[in-house]
C-alpha cells in the first residue's frame, strides 16, 4: 500500500528515480524494488520518503497507523478494526494533492470485509 502511494506521489510531482533515490540515500534498484512491492524498506525510510514528497506529518502518522490496522484486520475478523480504519481514512484531506492520491490508493483497501 505505502509503496503505491509513494510511487504515485513521486510520479505526480515529476521527481525522477535518480533524484528521489539520491534524496533517500538508497540506490535506484532498491527504490524500484520497493515501489514495485518486491522489497520492504524500513519505516524510517518510508517516513523520510513521504516527507520529501511533501506529505504532512499528520498524514504520515495516519498512514503508519493505517498500515498497522490493515495488518491487524487480517488477524481479527470483526468490525472494530474496520471502524477504526474508516475513521482514519476520513481524516485525509482531499483538497491536498498528496492526500488526494492517498485517498485514491486506499479506496480498495478499506472496503468492509465479508
Residue 19: domain span:
2-52
In a domain, 112, yes or no: no
Axis crossing angle, helix 97-106 with helix 57-75, rounded to the nearest 10: 10
Q: What is the CATH number of the domain that holds 42?
A: 1.10.260.40
Q: 8 and 41, same structural domain?
A: yes
Q: 61 and 38, same structural domain?
A: no
Count of structural domains, the chain: 2
Q: 45 and 8, same structural domain?
A: yes
Cell representation of residue 77: 475478523
Q: 44 and 8, same structural domain?
A: yes
Model confidence at 114, pLDDT cuts 50, 70, 90, reads: very low
**C-beta atoms surrounding 110 within 10 Å:** 17
State residue 40's pLDDT score. Answer: 87
Do you know the residue count of the chain? 114
Q: 68 and 34, same structural domain?
A: no
Nearest residue to 106 via CA among 91, 48, 13, 80: 91
Question: Which pTM does this prediction carry?
Answer: 0.83
* 31 vs 86, more confident: 31
pLDDT, average across residues 69-96:
86
Amino acid at each position: 500500500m505505502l509503496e503505491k502511494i509513494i510511487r504515485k506521489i513521486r510520479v505526480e510531482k515529476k521527481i525522477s528515480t535518480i533524484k528521489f533515490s539520491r534524496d533517500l540515500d538508497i540506490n535506484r534498484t532498491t527504490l524500484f524494488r520497493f515501489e514495485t512491492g518486491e522489497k520492504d524498506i524500513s519505516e524510517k525510510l518510508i517516513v523520510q520518503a513521504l516527507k520529501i514528497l511533501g506529505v504532512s506529518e499528520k498524514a504520515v502518522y495516519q498512514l503508519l497507523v493505517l498500515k498497522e490496522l490493515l495488518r491487524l484486520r487480517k488477524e481479527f475478523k470483526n468490525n472494530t478494526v474496520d471502524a477504526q480504519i474508516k475513521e482514519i481514512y476520513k481524516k485525509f484531506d482531499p483538497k491536498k494533492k498528496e492526500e488526494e492520491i492517498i485517498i485514491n490508493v486506499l479506496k480498495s483497501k478499506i472496503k468492509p470485509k465479508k
